[in-house]
Structure 1
Amino acid sequence: MTTFALVPGAGGAAWYWHRVLPLLEQEGHEAVAVDLPGDDPDAGLPEYAGLVVDAVAGRHDVVVVAQSMGGFTAPMVAARRPVSAIVLLNAMVPLPGETAGHWWGAVGSEEVRLAAARAGGYTEEVDLDTYFLHDVDPAVAATGEAHQRPEVDRAFETPCDISAWPEVPTRAVAGADDRFFPVALQRRVARERLGLGLDVVPGGHLAALSHPAELTAYLCKALPPSAAVRDEQPT
């Protein structure tokens, strides 16, 4: 039985995974959604990685699934304990020693986001509805209001403490309609930083909320972890 360690992005709310977790369990797997203290000024990436490691203590077949900023935590988890695979979902892919605060400029994310906004005809100013909730059922989004919290500066300032990307099977997957990290950006970063192709699933930046069934099917299809990484149909 595989244990999926589900790591959220900025803010750290385990709630983000609440629609995927039961679907993975229905498929016969174990799933652990890790709540991270995004609003704790004393907690950074080392603390985040420690919480994930503690959450899956005693499990032997662990797949770390990291959303967005969770991409900085995932390789640090793999550096601390054995994992079977890493899945990067609409994720920031760090270089060794890089900070999340430095990543934006290093990969040119703003230029790609703005170009996509102009091409798509939506606002260039980042707001919650346009960039994160545009494909999420309003009823689902409303239940998340109680779980929202800010991500304080510390996690953006602490480096990704790895010497190299962990030698474990890694897959990069993007939501086809991600407006915050457009597919073109994610494809380039995955290729340049990890030498990987990019898989594409339905949904935007919060694909686990908008298309949980499709994402769950992808995660299950990605097993066994030794399956080859390939570039799926581009959008």
Structure 2
Amino acid sequence: MAAQHPSGGGKGLRITLISAAVAGVVTVVAGLLIVVSSPEEYGLARDSLALEAQPRQTGAAQPQQAMFEAPPSVPPPLPALQPAPAMLPSTPRRLVIKRLGINAPIGSVGLDRRGAIQVPPINNPNLVGWYRHGPTAGEGGPSVMLGHKDTRSGSAVFSRLYEIKNGDTIEIKRQDGVTAVFTVGGVEQAAKTTFPTQRVYGDQPGSNAQLHLITCGGVYNRTTGHYTDNIIVYATMTSSYRS
């Protein structure tokens, strides 16, 4: 016959096991409360994630093209196509990059009180901002447009801009009913501390109609609340058509 525990010993063992289980549950709950109250320390806050430098997010089957690199005084890279003649000014209304699934409205932006270029409002993440003190899209010179990469609530209009490649086309639908078609000639990733202002905003020889798109890139700096770099797309108008 198997040996039996005395009834008092069995009761004491049950009490001990129940107490240990309760203590374990309390410990787990307390740990969860600590994590929820300090999400940044545990990688739960979106902006606290270690964001890899852009653009290195394509798979092995689609190797990333070489980025354009040159001193700030060097002109923008041009596509291997004949530029189309510049057109008269007309307000840009919509930006389309079919390969990236981008189809977004355009609004105008100017300068803030510090003299820095404004960005589209953060509460309208799908809006592209056109710098209204520069040329319109299709007019001679660089037409500059900006868009957010992401916001605290999710991705934004230029979240996939790092995927754009040389030879891709960008369409700008204008107020006059003409769609200007721009071909990408190069993509640059530049530190915000050494932004190539002359190449992006300055007039260039030849007065070709150019389109320069700007968004954030690099690594997100939690201290400053900004990304370290900019992604800049350089494109030249190569054709147009009437909608």
Higher helix share: 1
| TM-score w.r.t. length of structure 1 | 0.21
> Which of 1 and 2 has greater Rg?
2
Higher strand share: 2
Q: Give the TM-score, by structure 2 length.
A: 0.21
